[in-house]
C-alpha cells in the first residue's frame, strides 16, 4: 500500500467520510417555500442605497476592511436596543457571515475536544454539524410531544452532561415554538451551576416573527452573563443573500470570539451593504406584520382542514401528520410547490410566502391529499 492510498483519498477526517454536504434542495420551481426566506425583496430605494454603498466600498477594496466593524456593530446595537429596556451597546454585539458562522465561532471558542454541546430535539439540524466540525461532543435531549421544553428534564440533562454550550432556537426550527423567559433563565442558571460554566445560546433567527406578547431573550441579557442571543438579517430583514448574522452578549463573550474569528472575516462589501440595509429597517421589517398574519391564517386554515399544526412564532409552519410524508412532499413538488421534508417523522414544514404563494400551496395540498384519499 502506498502512502497515497493508506488512509483513503482525499485524506478526509474519518468521521466526515461518506457524509453529504448539508443543504435543502435548490430547485427552480414556481413556489419556493422550503428555506424560510422572506418572499418580499427590497424596494427600489433600498436597492439603490445598497448599490451606492457597495460602490463606495469598492473604491476601498485594495485595503482590508475594519476588522472590528465598529459602524456596523453600532447600528446593530441600536436596532437590538428596541427589544430590551436595558439597551445594548456596540461592545455587546458581534457579527459574522450568517448566524451559521456565528454558531460555528461560538463552538470554536466555547466547545471543542472534551467539551459538550446540548440541544433539545427536534432542533435546528445544523447544530450537530457545528459540534462535529469543532470536535465538540453532541448531546440532544428531547422536547415534549407538543414541542415545548420539559423544564425538569432539561435541568436534569444539563446537570448530568455539564455542557459548555446549550443551543436553544427560539422560535425553534423546525417546530416554530418560542421558549418562555423562565425556561431561558432556568437554563442559564443550570448551565452556570457546574464546573464548566456553560453558555446558553438563544438562537432568535426568527425572533422578529414572534407573536404579540412573546418577549425576546434580549430582555434577560442584563441578568445572565452567560446568555448569548443570536439574530440574522436572513429572515425578517429579507437579506438571506447578504449573509449577515449577529449576536448580543456580555462584552467578554464578544472578546473571546475575536480569538477564533478569521482576520477580516466580514468583507468591506458585506459591512457596507448590511449598514445600508439596516438604514431601511422599517421598510424591510414592514412586511413582517403581513407575514405574521399570513402565518396565523395558515395555522387556522390547516387546523380547520383537520391537520395537526404546531403553534408557530416563526415564518414557517410544521404540519402533519402523514403516513408517507415523502409522497406528499413529492406530490406538492410535482405541482410546482417546494416545501421541506424535515422535522419529526410524519410532519412537513412550509415557509410563509405571499398570499398568492400560500393559495398555490393550499390548492396543491388539497389536490395531493384528495389523491391520497
Kindly tell me which of 102 and 158 has the beta carbon lying closer to ligand PLP.
102
Q: How far apart are the first and last CA of the chain?
A: 59
Q: Least distance (Å) from ligand PLP to the CB of residue 126?
A: 7
Q: Taking the CA atoms of the chain, what radius of gyration do you get in angstroms?
A: 21
The CA distance from 224 to 280, in Å, is 32
Question: Of residues 90, 169, 320, 353, which one binds ligand PLP by CB under 6 A?
Answer: 169
Residue 245 binds ligand PLP (CB under 6 A): yes
| Cβ neighbour number for residue 325 with a 10 Å cutoff | 18
Distance CA 80, CA 77 (A): 5
> From the CB of 240, what's the least distance to ligand PLP, in Å?
6
The binder of ligand PLP chosen from 84, 116, 119, 234 (CB under 6 A) = 234
Q: What angle do CA 303, 305, 308 make, to 5 degrees?
A: 40
User: Which residue, among 197, 203, 178, has the nearest Cα to 124 in the 3D structure?
Assistant: 203
Q: Which of 242, 336, 247 is nearest to 37 (CA)?
A: 242
Among 38, 173, 175, 216, binds ligand PLP (CB under 6 A): 173
Rounded to an integer, what distance in angstroms lies between the CA atom of residue 205 and that of residue 256?
Answer: 22
Closest-approach residue to ligand PLP (CB): 98
Site for ligand PLP (CB under 6 A): which residue of 32, 33, 34, 36? 36
Task: Decide whether 162 or 271 has the Cβ nearer to ligand PLP.
Answer: 271
Binding mask 116-155 for ligand PLP (x = CB under 6 A): --------x-------------------------------
Closest CA to 335 of 359, 315, 317, 311: 359
Cell of 138: 453532541
Minimum distance of ligand PLP from residue 62's CB (angstroms): 29
Nine-digit cell string for 325: 410524508
Instruction: Give the binding range for ligand PLP (CB under 6 A) out of 3-11, 75-83, 96-104, 254-262.
Output: 96-104
Q: How far is the CB of 269 from ligand PLP (least distance, A)?
A: 17
> Quick check: 203 binds ligand PLP (CB under 6 A)?
yes
Stretch that binds ligand PLP, among 9-17, 87-95, 232-240, 283-291 (CB under 6 A): 232-240
Binding residue count for ligand PLP, defined by CB under 6 A: 13
What CA–CA distance (Å, rounded) separates 347 from 222? 38
Nearer Cβ to ligand PLP (205/217): 205
Minimum CB–partner distance for residue 224 and ligand PLP (Å): 20
d(CA 355, CA 240): 20
We find the least distance from the C-beta atom of residue 349 to ligand PLP, in angstroms, to be: 10
CA distance 356 to 245: 29
Q: Is 47 helix (H, G, I), strand (E, B) or coil?
A: helix
According to CB under 6 A, which one of 32, 100, 119, 175 is a site residue for ligand PLP? 100
CA distance to 111, 163, 278, per residue, from 258 (Å): 15, 22, 23
Among 65, 98, 122, 207, binds ligand PLP (CB under 6 A): 98
Residues contributing to the site for ligand PLP (CB under 6 A): 36, 98-100, 124, 169, 173, 203, 205, 232, 234, 240, 245
Amino acid at each position: 500500500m502506498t502512502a497515497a492510498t493508506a488512509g483513503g483519498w482525499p485524506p478526509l477526517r474519518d468521521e466526515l467520510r461518506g457524509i453529504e454536504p448539508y443543504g435543502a434542495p435548490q430547485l427552480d420551481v414556481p413556489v419556493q417555500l422550503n428555506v424560510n426566506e422572506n418572499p418580499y425583496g427590497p424596494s427600489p430605494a433600498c436597492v439603490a442605497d445598497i448599490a451606492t454603498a457597495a460602490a463606495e466600498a469598492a473604491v476601498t477594496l485594495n485595503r482590508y476592511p475594519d476588522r472590528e466593524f465598529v459602524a456596523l456593530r453600532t447600528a446593530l446595537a441600536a436596532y437590538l436596543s428596541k427589544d430590551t429596556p436595558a439597551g445594548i451597546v456596540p461592545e455587546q454585539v458581534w457579527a459574522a457571515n450568517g448566524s451559521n458562522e456565528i454558531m460555528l465561532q461560538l463552538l470554536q471558542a466555547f466547545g471543542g475536544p472534551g467539551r459538550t454541546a446540548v440541544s433539545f430535539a427536534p432542533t435546528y439540524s445544523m447544530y450537530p454539524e457545528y459540534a462535529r466540525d469543532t470536535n465538540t461532543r453532541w448531546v440532544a435531549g428531547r422536547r415534549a410531544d407538543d414541542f415545548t421544553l420539559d423544564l425538569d428534564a432539561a435541568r436534569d440533562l444539563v446537570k448530568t452532561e455539564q455542557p459548555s454550550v446549550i443551543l436553544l432556537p427560539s422560535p425553534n426550527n423546525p417546530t416554530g415554538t418560542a421558549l418562555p423567559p423562565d425556561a431561558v433563565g432556568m437554563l442559564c442558571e443550570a448551565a452556570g451551576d457546574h464546573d464548566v460554566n456553560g453558555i446558553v445560546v438563544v438562537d432568535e433567527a426568527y425572533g422578529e416573527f414572534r407573536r404579540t406578547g412573546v418577549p425576546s431573550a434580549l430582555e434577560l441579557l442584563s441578568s445572565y452573563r452567560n446568555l448569548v442571543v443570536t439574530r440574522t438579517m436572513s429572515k425578517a430583514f429579507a437579506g438571506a443573500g447578504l449573509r449577515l448574522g449577529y449576536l448580543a452578549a456580555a462584552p467578554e463573550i464578544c472578546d473571546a470570539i475575536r480569538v477564533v474569528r478569521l482576520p477580516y472575516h466580514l468583507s468591506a462589501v458585506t459591512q457596507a451593504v448590511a449598514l445600508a440595509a439596516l438604514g431601511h429597517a422599517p421598510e424591510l421589517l414592514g412586511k413582517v406584520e403581513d407575514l405574521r398574519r399570513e402565518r396565523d391564517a395558515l395555522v387556522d386554515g390547516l387546523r380547520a382542514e383537520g391537520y395537526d399544526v404546531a403553534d408557530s412564532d416563526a415564518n414557517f409552519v410544521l404540519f402533519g401528520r402523514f403516513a408517507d410524508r415523502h409522497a406528499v412532499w413529492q406530490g406538492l413538488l410535482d405541482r410546482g410547490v417546494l416545501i421541506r421534508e424535515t422535522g419529526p417523522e410524519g410532519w412537513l414544514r412550509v415557509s410563509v410566502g405571499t398570499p398568492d404563494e400560500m393559495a398555490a400551496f393550499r390548492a396543491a395540498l388539497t389536490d395531493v391529499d384528495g389523491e391520497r384519499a
